[in-house]
A and B are shown apart, each in its own frame.
Chain A
Amino acid sequence: MMSVNTLSKAEQENLLLKKNAILCLVLGLFFVIDSTHELGGWELSGRWALLYLPVLLLFFYMLYLLLNVSKFSRGVAKRAFWTGRFEDEYAEYLNARGYKFGYGVGFIGLITFSLFADLILADETTALISMELWAQLAAASMLIGYALPVIYGLAKDNE
């Protein structure tokens, strides 16, 4: 396998975009699982503690990815990491599409809940959901909404 340093700038940008999308997906899933813990009212003891295991694993994987992305972005793709702009056209297109999807998913989700929360959720559930949880769910949907089209766009291939 080629080392990162031997890759062209465009290839490095694609790699950075991929890692960034995976990081967003993992972070989104982390928020989803973490908020279901609050929604489900699990106790972190006994057999329920096992249900928290995926959250811990995702958390450590997220830390690993964060280190990996920041270490990797010291190279020529550093500007892309900080500004979110890519010189490679396809990477830039996918990144913009990811933002568009993320915004769309977040917007539709928030509007739906603002209009129909009373109909969708039972009164007890609405009372159970804190502001922190709402924020986590909104962030999770936007992160996953960004990550999925980017990962899909990078996965499709034909040489």
Chain B
Amino acid sequence: MNEQLDNHIHKLRTQRKVSQQELADAIGVSRKTISTVETGRFTPSVVIALKMARFFDVPVESIFTLME
């Protein structure tokens, strides 16, 4: 678990009724990548973060936040 980075991917997916597989296919990564990013086991690159932000149509800061 990444102790510095928090994310709201699960919340955003649930709100928009999007599965991990659908999100993965939309941004061109594997479902495993989404799953591990969501649980904080893997920190993605800026490219993936930006692709997610574009997919959900929100700023990156709404998906990823630094823990205080």
15 contacts between A and B (CB under 8 A): A8-B24, A11-B24, A11-B31, A14-B32, A89-B29, A89-B42, A90-B29, A90-B32, A90-B33, A90-B36, A91-B32, A91-B33, A154-B32, A157-B32, A159-B19
Q: Mark B8-41, 1 if CB is under 8 A from A, else 0.
A: 0000000000011000110011111101100101
> Are B33 and A10 interface neighbours, CB within 8 A?
yes
Number of A-B pairs whose CB atoms are under 8 Å?
Answer: 47
Please, which residues of chain A bring their CB within 8 A of the CB of B48? 89
A14 to B25, CA, bound (A): 14
Q: What distance in Å separates the Cβ of A16 from its nearest Cβ neighbour in chain B?
A: 11
By beta carbon, the residue of chain A nearest B25 is A8
Given contacts A8-B25, A90-B36, contact A156 B30 (CB under 8 A): no
Chain A interface residue count, Cβ-Cβ cutoff 8 angstroms: 16
- Chain A residues within an 8 Å CB radius of B41: 156
Q: Which residues of chain B come closer than 8 Å to A83, judged between CB atoms?
A: none
